[in-house]
Chain A
């Protein structure tokens, strides 16, 4: 079974508040996800393994709060699995990018609803 991209119930559970507050949080996710993806890419290109782990950790935390299930899992792998190899990281980054795009689409839809 294909895993849910964003579990909106989880998002509502953590991002408490009124509709406007939740929409603001969804917009914040869209902005921050792009920022973190950029930071991951930069750490990858510079072979900064520790920086890569730190960003992946932070990204994983945000994805958890947002209910971005798939993104959280791919960030967990990026933080904890073997990442010294550039090729491994490239593959991970590609997966994370896909998850980010899909998560952003979900939240943009949520904001527009």
Chain B
């Protein structure tokens, strides 16, 4: 098995790597501590078949090919303690690590902290690009909701009459976004970041189930309630299994929509 430790500094295993570094870095053993960096590499959702041990070995090889000193501890948080100089460029190391993963991964800087004697510790988080994009859209949606002074309800329904029934019931208390075309629902969701979505199942261009999946992929916390005249048990079960918060059978009274609005955690208006 890959031993993990190299260089002249021997570190004992300890679950808290940073604690080790604090003890390990001392002026008696190391010159110019401010030139040293502590890198923590973290990986989320590595592709199937990718072995973290083998990846650690390859990352070790990257550092071994660089000039200067380093200490490597793959047992904790895949941490590398590296002496920075003009020839060591972090971006190049990140690029090489991303190449090793052989999948569409992104890297972002996580925690930054100062440990003993001015040594900077940096955390690098690697995760699938799709995962990062989802995170970005979630953050964007949450921010949009926080920044505005009103609550938004989106009604996705192709029948104008049914849409008006819903809108008339809701418009006094909320900004209501109406969408008739299933093909535009996800785009409108991103444009308006609604607090709650009432989503019809039978829609032109894209079915409600598919829209539900796409919205939840962008925003797993989305509060979506399905609407349909087809109140069969299978439909209700399928919607809830897919992540819908509820199901309203058509025809419905406006008050029925408020039952779900009241359950939505981001709605601020009392109703």
Interface residues of A (CB under 8 A from B): 10, 13-17, 21, 25, 28-29, 32, 54, 57-58, 60-62, 64-66
Chain B positions within 8 Å of A28 at CB level: 160-161, 164
Instruction: Identify 13 residue pairs between A and B in the complex whose beta-carbon atoms are under 8 Å apart, listed by A's number.
Output: A14-B251, A14-B253, A15-B168, A25-B165, A28-B160, A28-B161, A32-B159, A54-B204, A57-B202, A61-B161, A62-B162, A64-B229, A65-B251
Closest CB-CB distance, A112 to chain B, in whole Å? Answer: 20
Closest CB-CB distance, A15 to chain B, in whole Å? Answer: 6
Closest CB-CB distance, A61 to chain B, in whole Å? Answer: 5
* B165-180 interface (Cβ within 8 A of A): 165, 168-169
Bound-complex Cα distance A64 to B251 (A): 6
Q: Are B162 and A65 closer than 8 Å at their CB atoms?
A: yes
Interface size class of B (residues with CB under 8 A): 10 to 19
Bound-complex Cα distance A80 to B164 (A): 26
Bound-complex Cα distance A21 to B172 (A): 13
Is B67 located at the chain interface by the 8 A CB criterion? no
Bound-complex Cα distance A62 to B200 (A): 13
Chain A positions within 8 Å of B168 at CB level: 15-17, 21, 25
- Would A64 and B250 be within 8 Å (CB), given that A14-B165, A21-B168 are in contact? yes
Chain A positions within 8 Å of B164 at CB level: 25, 28
Q: Are A65 and B161 closer than 8 Å at their CB atoms?
A: yes
Chain B positions within 8 Å of A14 at CB level: 165, 251-253
Closest CB-CB distance, B235 to chain A, in whole Å? Answer: 13
Is B254 located at the chain interface by the 8 A CB criterion? yes
Is B217 located at the chain interface by the 8 A CB criterion? no
Closest CB-CB distance, B110 to chain A, in whole Å? Answer: 50
- Would A54 and B229 be within 8 Å (CB), given that A25-B161, A65-B161, A65-B250 are in contact? no
Chain A positions within 8 Å of B132 at CB level: none
Bound-complex Cα distance A17 to B254 (A): 10
Closest CB-CB distance, B169 to chain A, in whole Å? Answer: 6
Q: Are B165 and A15 closer than 8 Å at their CB atoms?
A: yes
* B237-255 interface (Cβ within 8 A of A): 250-254
Q: Are B202 and A62 closer than 8 Å at their CB atoms?
A: no
Q: Which of A17, A62, A65, A66 has its CB near the most chain B CB atoms (within 10 A)?
A: A65
